[in-house]
Structure 1
Amino acid sequence: MAQQPHVVVLAFPFSTHAAPLLTIINRIASASPTTLFSFFSTQQSNNSIFSISQPNIKAYNVPDGVPEGYVFLGKPQEEIELFMRGAPQSFRKGVEMAVEESGRKLSCLVTDSFFWFAKEMALENGVPWLPFHTAGDASLSSHVYTDLLRETYGVGGIVGREDETLNFIPGLSNVRIRDLPEGIVFGKLESFFSVMLHKMGQVLPQATAVFINSFEELDPDITTDLKSTFKQYLNVGPLILTTPRPSVPDSHGCLAWLDKQKPATVTYISIGSVATPPPNELVALAEALETSQVPFIWSLRDELKVHLPSEFIDKANGLIVPWAPQIDVLAHGAVEVFITHGGWNSIVESIAGGVPMIFRPFFGDHRVNGRMVEDVWEIGVIVESGVLTKDGKMSGLDLVLAQEKGKKMRENLRDIKQVAQRSVGAKGTSTENFNNLLDLVCTQNYA
């Protein structure tokens, strides 16, 4: 009797990486109940995402890499560096344990795309390697083309050229050098994080297949190019349209409050779980909201709320909450615009809700995402000069809420959402790609 497949899944336990990976693993596990999935992340990450999962998924904890008694130095990405330095060994030990416990040999390795070392793990075990890229394909393309970009622009030699566009990379002709993620041609190229992403871009073409939470029709030129770069490139999203959302408690009454508002009048603000606007920008945003008198829901961590003017909080024409059920908020008919940092999950959720965006980008893929949103898909705008000011926020709100351009954004969103829904339909491209992914993951197929 043939052994049943045993898939090991390695999640990146920071930001919003692990949750979408678990989402698609749940869907695959549901479609292949005889396949065992061993899902590895840190205890903190697993505790935050494993509310409901398929019975054939088993969670395993790996160390977070922080030595006992360690005092954090406050360096950028310090937690990530500590975790990643020990990750290859931690994951190898974990895989050995899962194989021994289950009595099933490893048949496939599914990982976050950040784990460049997974290529060697897959080769050592003679199994397929299937990395999942949690961001959009514009940022993915920029990392794949890092070496070419460095050859073209040099390292750190972009002064005066920041607004040149990347016309030589398919699908990125509207993207400017300044929009690229840090660590490609500017920023600290030798930092641990930059080196990690550079290695990722170099090894992904050697993976069995790369899959992503998007749909082919959103960026057809990038998709065609990456299909020629990777052995297989599978757009399997938007996951929000294919996977039933687990109900989340609306502990701060956001949806009940939205039910009392007029249709298409509310501004929703969430700057992400990692990005932190400086106090002066929080004040500027509060002043713009106060002046405009638009009703709003602002998801703002309690420790940042202290920077807001007390008179604004006392007279606020909306809700200021430490957490909001974002997917449900964006799907509510009362919400008219979304002020966001521009992470990929937020973009996909905004498209699903049909809500135009105002971007305040911070780092990573935020700027390139903003450029695609503003100049390619035309479903949002980037704030003036990339920072929050009262006047800039007022003009952005006016553009989206009152001007003809805002109306055009909503029309574009309706069109894009319809295309997305077709892509996940019975004969859609994302459905076809998911079926291909399912075969790759769950077939007993040693490389």
Structure 2
Amino acid sequence: MTEKQEAKRHGRRLVVVVYPFQGHINPMLQLATILNSNGFSITILHPEFNSPNHSNYPDFSFVSIPDGLSKTNTVSVSPGDLAATISAINRNCEAPFQRYMEQILEAEDPPDRVAGVIFDGFMYFAQRVANHLKLPGISVRTSAAASLFAFAVFRHHDGHGYIPFQDSLSQLDQVPELEALKLKDIIVSAAANPALLELRAVLTETTKNASAVIVNTIHFLEQQTLTKVQECFQVPIFPIGPFHKLAPSSSSSLLEEDTNCISWLDKQAPESVIYVSFGSMTSMDENELLEIASGLANSEQPFLWVVRPGSVRGPEWADELLPKSFWERVEEGRGCIVKWAPQKEVLAHGAVGGFWSHCGWNSTLESVCEGVPMLCRPFFGDQLLSSRYVCRVWKIGLEMEGVLERGKIEKGIRRLMVDSEGVEIRQRAKGLKEKADFCLSEDGSSYNALNELVQHILSS
């Protein structure tokens, strides 16, 4: 009997706890889909805030719990409020989650008993509840494995780190992959933020107490880092990414996707379009918007540009800000602007030859898997790590650093899309795509890690 058949025979149920922001909802629902396809029943537990679309997942049970946040279902929260938001969600959700778990454990039928709690690492209250109820708790990292190591190195508020602080900093120079990421700079610069340090300490303690850790990454992308993470946490680590390639296609976007851009892409030459999207949470001022518009127009490259409502501080959308001369150039067919795009479909399109991105981890993996080189403009948090992976470790992209200025933007786009430097970068990107495809195939690293994860859950 296969592991999948064994799971179905026992009717094992997994409770999946989702952190309510787009970059976390997507991979957690993809992971739930993967586990469901391997025979597990799925209950998705989520805060009321930013509730995911249930209709796209008819085989799942969805349960919302009060979170104490706004009931307006706002799509994003300011990056500066993230630490406070994470703390508030964990504080407010723990008690109702425990009540819910106690109820289902009392009422459950033996054939459908709960096999464990799988939770986004930011929802660390779930591990405390799992411990209290003597259930396995599995933490999920939706960012790079390198962020796990960085969390463990950060000092506690009392001055101590989970890894001896000075020892860990010296270790970073001894591992080429970690040295190229400049983790030392990130760790030292962030040490001045007490709220951030306290949050990272809690997240790391939770990870160390989990029965296992799932990371949305591919082994070859972070091979040296994964070795250090395993040494640090001493719990099973399962790099089974990229989730979006292992899960059947289904949208969990909180924003409506404009599929008309695909028809526009169909009319463009192969690998000629620069796709521009800065994710679901970043924002810019009016001057930055105008500089980007001018840089795109002056580059003379076709472009597909996502300008999300609310991404520009001030007016509701770009059409209130961009000059008439810009719109005239767009109307000539060289540009397409949408409020939100079906990104995986866009990146897989043959007309797309480059991706100017904020370097969120989901976007980075999606670009790697389609062999699309990147222009990197990280804004906050783990995006800086992703950018350094792209540009300094894998060398499949260029950094767009400093103040955004139209001449710099024009030059960066042409370096990536036209110059010989960009040709070499594109070749390396296509090489990573081939490696990623192999890892997802039978006996590839992600395929094997998934089988090991299923066995781990069944044996818990």
TM-score > 0.5, shorter chain as reference: yes
CA distance 1:254–1:136, shift in 2 (3 Å): same
Counterpart of 2:6?
Answer: none
Counterpart of 1:404?
Answer: 420
Displacement, 1:109? Answer: 1.3
Query: Tell me, what secondary structure is at the counterpart of 2:61?
Result: strand
CA distance 1:204–1:276, shift in 2 (3 Å): same
AA at the equivalent of 1:58: S
Instruction: Write the deviation string for residues 294-326 of structure 1: whole angstroms up to 9, x where unpaired.
Output: 111111124241333333123323111101111
AA at the equivalent of 1:294: Q
Counterpart of 1:277?
Answer: 284
Counterpart of 1:346?
Answer: 363
CA distance 1:44–1:87, shift in 2 (3 Å): closer
Matched-pair contact (CA < 8 Å) for 1:14–1:80: no
Counterpart of 2:236?
Answer: 232
User: Please, which of 62, 66, 90 is the counterpart of residue 65 of structure 2?
Assistant: 62
Matched-pair contact (CA < 8 Å) for 2:259–2:342: no
More moved, 263-272 vs 117-126: 117-126
AA at the equivalent of 2:231: S
User: Please, which of 143, 163, 166 is the counterpart of residue 135 of structure 1?
Assistant: 143
| Aligned pairs for 1:364-383 within 5 A | 364-383=381-400
Counterpart of 1:123?
Answer: 131
CA distance 1:141–1:20, shift in 2 (3 Å): same
Distance in 1 separating the partners of 2:362 and 2:89: 23
- Counterpart check, 1:205 vs 2:212: no
Query: Tell me, what secondary structure is at the counterpart of 1:332?
Result: coil
Displacement, 1:235? Answer: 0.7
- Counterpart check, 1:39 vs 2:44: yes
AA at the equivalent of 1:278: D
CA distance 1:380–1:93, shift in 2 (3 Å): same
AA at the equivalent of 1:410: R
Q: How many residue pairs align between the two structures?
A: 424
Instruction: Write the deviation string for residues 196-243 of structure 1: whole angstroms up to 9, x where unpaired.
Output: 233112331332111111111112111222222331111101223222
Matched-pair contact (CA < 8 Å) for 2:127–2:206: yes
CA distance 1:99–1:384, shift in 2 (3 Å): same
AA at the equivalent of 1:110: I
User: Please, which of 293, 305, 319 is the counterpart of residue 298 of structure 1?
Assistant: 305
Q: Name the TM-score, length of structure 1 as normaliser.
A: 0.86
Distance in 2 separating the partners of 1:271 and 1:232: 33
Instruction: Write the deviation string for residues 10-58 of structure 1: whole angstroms up to 9, x where unpaired.
Output: 11112311221111111211221xx43221012454433x343262x21
- What value does the CA root-mean-square deviation take over the aligned residues? 2.9
Unaligned runs of 5+ in 1: 155-160
CA distance 1:337–1:225, shift in 2 (3 Å): same
Counterpart of 1:313?
Answer: 327
Distance in 2 separating the partners of 1:216 and 1:304: 40
CA distance 1:377–1:444, shift in 2 (3 Å): closer
Query: Tell me, what secondary structure is at the counterpart of 2:292?
Result: helix
Distance in 2 separating the partners of 1:153 and 1:287: 47
Query: Tell me, what secondary structure is at the counterpart of 1:180?
Result: helix
Matched-pair contact (CA < 8 Å) for 1:7–1:38: yes
CA distance 1:440–1:359, shift in 2 (3 Å): same
Counterpart of 1:429?
Answer: 445
Counterpart of 2:36?
Answer: 29
Counterpart of 1:337?
Answer: 354
Counterpart of 1:219?
Answer: 222
Query: Tell me, what secondary structure is at the counterpart of 2:179?
Result: coil
Matched-pair contact (CA < 8 Å) for 1:4–1:444: no
Unaligned runs of 5+ in 2: 1-8, 156-160, 310-315
Displacement, 1:194? Answer: 4.6
Matched-pair contact (CA < 8 Å) for 1:42–1:62: yes
- Counterpart check, 1:438 vs 2:454: yes
Displacement, 1:439? Answer: 2.0
**Percent identity of the aligned residues?**
28
More moved, 9-18 vs 425-434: 9-18
Q: Name the TM-score, length of structure 2 as normaliser.
A: 0.84
- Counterpart check, 1:260 vs 2:276: no
Displacement, 1:438? Answer: 1.4
Matched-pair contact (CA < 8 Å) for 2:372–2:430: no
Counterpart of 1:158?
Answer: none
Distance in 2 separating the partners of 1:9 and 1:313: 45
Distance in 2 separating the partners of 1:40 and 1:85: 16
